[in-house]
Structure 1
C-alpha cells in the first residue's frame, strides 16, 4: 500500500502534514529506506550534537530521538491492536510528559542507534505479517478513526518530519 491509497477517514486530519511529506512508495519499502537514511544520519552525528537545541526551550537532539522512538512504538502498538480487530478505543499520549521522563540527555548515541534499529526492525516485521485486509482495519485512536495502514504511514511521516527539522532547524 502507498500513501495515496489511504482513504478519507483512515486517519485524523491533523496527521495530513506527515502523510503529505511521504513519497509514493509501498509502506515496507518506505520504512526500510528510512531506516538506512536515519542510521546514516545518526552515525554521522558527533556525540556533542546530542545536546544541541536550535532555540531556548526546544528539545535537544537527544530528547527528540527518544520522542521519535516512543512515538514509533505507540503507533506500532496501535497498528497491531487495530489489525487484530481490537475495537477498544486507544488513548492518546502526552509527548511533553514522555520527554523529560525519558532521561534522554543522559543517553549515548550508540544506545540510541541500537534502540532505533530494534524498534524499526520490529515494526517492519509486524507490518510484513499484515494481510491486505489487516491494513484496512480501522479502530479508534485518540478519539479519531485510524486504520492500521495509516498508523504505519504516520510512523514514516513523523520520522521524515523530525529528520527535516534536524537538517533545517538544527542545521545537522
Structure 2
C-alpha cells in the first residue's frame, strides 16, 4: 500500500499533514528511506547547534530530535497493541509534557544517533512482521480510529515534517 491510498477513515484528521508530507510512498520503503535521511541530517549537525532554538519559547534542535524519537516510540507501541488485536482504547500523549523531562541538553549527536538507530530498526522489524490483516487492524487512540498501517505512515510523515522544519529553521 502507498501513502496516497490510505483511507482518511483510518486516522484522526490531525495526522493528515503528516500523511501529506510523504510523496506517495510504500510503507516499508519510506521507513527505510527515512532512516537514511535522518542519519544524513545528523551527520550535518555541528554539536554547538544542538542547543539552538530559532525563536523564544521554541524547542532546541536536540529537543526536536528527541521529540521525533519519542513520538516514534509512542506510535510503535500503538501499532503493536492494535496489530495484536488489543481493543483497549489508548489515550493521547502531550508532547509538550515530554520535552522538559527529556534531558535533551545533556545529549550528544552521537548518542542521539545511537538511540534513533535502535528505535527505527525496531520499528522496521515490527512492521516487517505484520501481515496484511494485521496492518489493516483498527484500534482507538485519542478517541479516534487508528489503523496499524496508518501508524507507520504517521511515523514516517511526522519525521519528514520535522526534518523539513529543521532544515528551514535550525540549520
Q: TM-score range by the shorter chain?
A: over 0.9
Q: How does 1:33-72 map to 2 (within 5 A)?
A: 33-72=33-72
Report the counterpart of residue 108 of structure 2 in structure 1. 108
Report the counterpart of residue 128 of structure 1 in structure 2. 128
Report the counterpart of residue 23 of structure 1 in structure 2. 23
Tell me the TM-score normalised to structure 1 length: 0.97
| Cα offset, 1:168, TM superposition | 1.1
Q: How does 1:64-103 map to 2 (within 5 A)?
A: 64-103=64-103
In structure 1, distance between residues paired with 2:93 and 2:105: 21
In structure 1, distance between residues paired with 2:136 and 2:53: 39
SS in 2 for 1:51: coil
SS in 2 for 1:157: helix
In structure 2, distance between residues paired with 1:137 and 1:99: 31
SS in 1 for 2:140: strand
Specify every segment of 5 or more residues in structure 1 that has no aligned partner in the other structure, as ranges. Answer: none
Specify every segment of 5 or more residues in structure 2 that has no aligned partner in the other structure, as ranges. Answer: none
- Report how many aligned residue pairs link the two structures: 171
Structure 1 runs of 4+ off > 2 angstroms? none
SS in 1 for 2:96: helix
Deviations, residues 94-130 of structure 1 (Å, cap 9, x unaligned): 1111001011111111000000000000000000000
In structure 1, distance between residues paired with 2:152 and 2:3: 10
| Cα offset, 1:8, TM superposition | 2.9
SS in 1 for 2:11: coil
SS in 2 for 1:122: helix
| Cα offset, 1:2, TM superposition | 1.1
Report the counterpart of residue 5 of structure 2 in structure 1. 5
Deviations, residues 71-95 of structure 1 (Å, cap 9, x unaligned): 0000000011011110000111111
Quote the RMSD (CA, aligned, Å). Answer: 0.7
In structure 1, distance between residues paired with 2:156 and 2:60: 21
